[in-house]
A and B are shown apart, each in its own frame.
Chain A
Amino acid sequence: MRALFPLELKAAETARRGQRLVGPVDVRLEGAGCTVVIGPNGAGKTSLLRLMHGTARLTGGSLRWGCGEAEARQRQAFVFQQPVMLRRSVEENLAYPLRARGVARGEARAKARVWAERVGLGAMLGRQAPVLSGGERQKLALARALIIGPEVLFLDEPCAALDGAATRDIEAILSEAKAGGTALVMATHDMGQARRLGDEVLFLLAGRVRERSPAQGFFEGPETAEAQAFLRGDII
């Protein structure tokens, strides 16, 4: 099996109804640790993540995975800012991606139970997913993404609108996934979270990558004036 990484974007663009959302972007990800995508609202963070994940159409340039696109789609997962819950129980939500990949029902359910315990939803297996709280839904979405063992997990502001306790739980799960070898690519507005989880930072402005640095270096002394202003909290 060929390696999933590197992911290489060359002058990559995505547009919708004639309006460019992201690009041109030149980025090469090696698939290690956590890459944090930050920038002001409308910078194109979500669109960049969707472009990399393959759910936004590439309208210019190129995007290549090490193993080819079709295979790459099978080896990655995405967690949305507003988690989408299937109208099923917690257990069935967790088992769904496995069943969709042809895993036998019994095995899928057994794995679902293990993952429900891991993310603290073990007591809620039979509960209908759409009635869970925001934090529980996000944990379930995360477990449902991780249950297939993705090599890369895209996260679009996974802790937006969550309280401190839920954020801590989510970050603990993400840290565990990272330690287990899953590469994380995460868009966030939460600079504290970016500092805690990030290994490198992509700073986006107006659909372009304006700065790319190791996380520590970025937060201690960003190179560009825009990034400095952004970290100061100025409106840019």
Chain B
Amino acid sequence: MVDLWDGLVQAFWLVVTLDAALVEISARSLRVTLSALAIASVIAMPLAAFLAVKRFRYRRAVIALLNALMGLPPVVVGLLVYILLSRSGPFGVLGLLFTPTAMVIAQVTIIVPLVASIAHQSLRDLWHEYHDLLISMNVSQGQKMRTLLWDARRALLTAALAGFGRAIGEVGAIMIVGGNIDHATRVLTTAIALETGKGDFALALALGFVLIGLAIAVNLAIHSLSRTEREGRW
């Protein structure tokens, strides 16, 4: 209980005094996660729309696979990305291991199936509603996909926010591929793991509260900007 209180107090002072180290790792956390989310959304949303609209032979298998990959163990993803990016790996020449880029790659790999699966649920329901109309209007496959993505944009926000939540709280994969290097790849989650390992629970808790606050702030900001929960809007 004392640790919890100490953590809250320390978190308060870290934020109020704009602690330089905290600002640095918070900014890095946000930069890595938002980059991963943007890339994952660009991959996952069109994929979800394609799966909603297009009928092809292995469609159900692809959907089942995506759903299964939602539970992909982050440590395994981290290990695979590590092997691919390590000096002896196929992409070792790029020198990306232990950089924020490697962390983004790992996060993208983890959240693409999650975002695509949740997005697909929304788009499938909307496609069921729009099917006859869009077929009747004789619009192209690309137009159908764009229409679904635009009209379901607020529902897709939920998918993106789920991806954001998963990515910003991720520690296992980015610890492996990032290495938790101070001033280079240290982010909030890896810093929490480090401080916990050192036995500084108060600081670890303080960083945890900052992480939660950051996640809530980003969610509220996105909801506010996209004007969800307004009457008569989707």
Contacts and interface: CB of A to CB of B under 8 A. Distances in A.
B137 interface: yes
Interface string B6-37: 00000000000000000000000000000000
A53 B135 CA distance: 10
B84 to A, nearest CB: 41
A100 B132 contact: no
Interface in A76-92: 77-78, 80, 84, 86-88
Between A86, A87, A128, the greatest number of chain B beta carbons within 10 A of the residue's beta carbon is seen for: A87
A55 B135 contact: yes
A84 B129 contact: yes
B138 A73 contact: yes
Contacts of A74: 138
Interface range on chain A (Cβ under 8 Å from partner): 10 to 19
Interface residues of B, number: 17
A131 interface: yes
7 contacts: A55-B132, A77-B136, A84-B130, A96-B147, A100-B139, A128-B232, A131-B232
Interface in A196-212: none
A134 interface: no
Interface string A125-154: 001101100000000000000000000000
A49 to B, nearest CB: 11
A97 interface: yes
Nearest to B153: A87
Nearest to B143: A100
A128 B137 contact: no
Pairs of residues from A and B, 3 with the lowest C-beta to C-beta distance, nearest first: A84-B133, A128-B232, A78-B136
A130 B137 CA distance: 19
Contacts of B183: none
B132 A80 contact: yes
A53 B136 contact: yes
Given A128-B232, A128-B233, A87 B151 contact: yes
Contacts of A73: 138
Given A73-B138, A74-B138, A100-B139, A87 B133 contact: no
Interface string B104-137: 0000000000000000000000100110110111
Nearest to B126: A87
A88 B151 CA distance: 7
Contact of A87 (B136, B138, B234): B234
B232 A84 contact: no
Nearest to B129: A84
Given A86-B147, A87-B234, A100 B136 contact: no
Contacts of B137: 77, 96-97, 100
